[in-house]
Amino acid sequence: MTSWYLVTTVPHRERTVARILRAFSIPHHLFVECRQHVWRGRLIERLHPVFPGYVFVACWNLWDLVRSIGGVLGFVRFNNELVVVKNHVIDSLVAASVDDVLPTPQVPIVSRFCDGDRIRIQGTGMFAGRTGRFVRMLAVGQALIEVDLFGRWVSVPADDRDLEIDIPRRRRRRRRRRREGGYRQIGSVAGVAAAA
């Protein structure tokens, strides 16, 4: 039965540590999940660690080798003793994942907007006061909207609290003012009317 330990890493170095552990053939798990981000106006999906800053490692008598890996800060300790992660915890995470990639839970997010709704952006951000159209919800409280920038629709994440429905304002019709005195008389007809 293998004992699993938690290795702490430098922020955003989990993949590098996992790659080096794989090169040394040390059993390890770096559990990741797929998350959506807006990058350069496009919606992309990237793998992010489920436990940022931690890698599960099964290393018995390899403490110094693991500690010498660049990006490793050390092992998680409690009262100066290494913390051992129970096997059933690792087994349940491995059973729920496919190649250490955990499935993204699909929770329906309720929104007050529908796809394609015209919205106005409130708040103090860069797009405050502009109009756009609602695309969909990214997460609870965060929406993906499209804003017209230089004649091109660009996808932008926005806080749901800064959005409101844009009701198009009706333009008031201007009434034509009529001239007082009726119609204007032209040329000789005016002279005839004055003589009579």
3-state secondary structure the chain: CCCEEEEEECCCCHHHHHHHHHHCCCCEECCEEEEEEEECCEEEEEEEECCCCEEEECCCCCHHHHHCCCCEEEECEECCEECEECHHHHHHHHHHCECCEECCCCCCCCCCCCCCCEEEECCCCCCCCCEEEEEEEEECCEEEEEEEECCEEEEEEEEHHHEEECCCCCCCCCCCCCCCCCCCCCHHHHHHHHHC
Place of tokens 């756009």: 132
Compute the half-sphere exposure of residue 116: CA atoms within 13 Å on the CB side of its CA.
0
Q: Domain map of the chain by residue range?
A: 4-102, 118-165
Least confident range from 98-107, 158-167, 183-192: namely 183-192
For residue 9, give the nearest of 66, 91, 61, 86 by alpha carbon. 66
Local confidence band at 186 (pLDDT 50, 70, 90 cut-offs): low
Q: Is the pTM of this model over 0.85?
A: no
What does the alpha-carbon distance between residue 13 and residue 132 come to, in Å, rounded to a whole number?
38
Q: Which amino acid, 176?
A: R
pLDDT at 158 over 80: yes
Read off the pLDDT band of 9 (50, 70, 90). Answer: very high
pLDDT at 30: 94
- Which amino acid, 16? T
Instruction: Answer whether residue 24 shows pLDDT above 80.
Output: yes
Domain 4-102: which CATH number of 3.40.190.10, 3.30.70.940, 3.30.70.120, 3.40.50.10540: 3.30.70.940
Which residues are CB-neighbours of 61 under 8 A, at least 6 positions away?
A: none
Q: Residue 30 half-sphere exposure, CB side, CA atoms within 13 Å?
A: 22
pLDDT at residue 11, as a whole number: 93
Cβ atoms within 10 A of the Cβ of 36, count? 15
Given pLDDT bands bounded at 50, 70 and 90, which one contains residue 151?
Answer: confident
